Amino acid sequence: MSKISRETYEEAVSSLLSYSQEKKRNFVESVELQIMLKNYDPSKDKRFSGSIRLPAIARPRLTVCVLGDESHCDEAKAANLPFMDVEALKKLKKNKKLVKKLAKKYDAFLASSTLIKQIPRILGPGLNKAGKFPTSVSHGESLEDKVNEIRGTIKFQMKKVLTLGVAVGHVGMDQEELIRNIG
């Protein structure tokens, strides 16, 4: 395993940010980290996946929908977050098209711990197939904190290709935040 010195990636981040200032785009560009694995055979060795919580929020525009009981729906309404209660979920009744549409509309889901076991029974396998099965949230946790935790968490998955690519931030972040997310 070869390590990259802090100076090397500080220099890379500063040149990346200066280049993005010169070439202005009409959207906020994401900064992605590509990791190449050497001496790893995906056909023999085990494939892996996981998630990492970054120090700074990498995806501030990530849309999160709360699937909750009454108290979580009230909290989501107060925090100006999209939400669905049990009755709204039951209206979907395993309708594959509607569940797929719901999965496309939001990037991630939060569900009340009391409701999480009922989700597969109410919605079917649609959210799980889309890779967006809800994260559990208890009544002791703040919805805002949980949403920020999801926005700051990146998922990675090792498949057949020996390269891992993960978004670690965007060009709107300052240099120090990007360096903390990479290091």
Which residues, 6 or more positions from 112, have their beta carbon under 8 angstroms from its beta carbon?
A: 67, 68, 69, 72, 136, 137, 138, 139
**Signed CA dihedral, 58, 11, 1, 40: sign only:** positive
List per-residue pLDDT tens for the chain, 183 residues long. Answer: 567 788 888 888 888 888 888 888 888 888 888 888 887 777 777 777 788 888 888 788 889 999 888 888 888 888 898 998 888 888 887 778 888 888 889 988 988 888 888 888 888 788 888 888 888 888 888 888 888 888 888 888 777 777 888 888 888 888 888 888 887
Fold of the 64-150 domain: Rossmann fold (3.40.50)
In CATH, the number for domain 6-58+152-182 is 3.30.190.20
Would you list the domain boundaries of the chain? 6-58+152-182, 64-150
- Alpha-carbon distance of 30 to 43, in angstroms, equals 31
> Is-same-fold flag (6-58+152-182; 64-150)?
no
Determine the Cα–Cα distance for residues 183 and 181; give it in Å rounded to an integer.
6
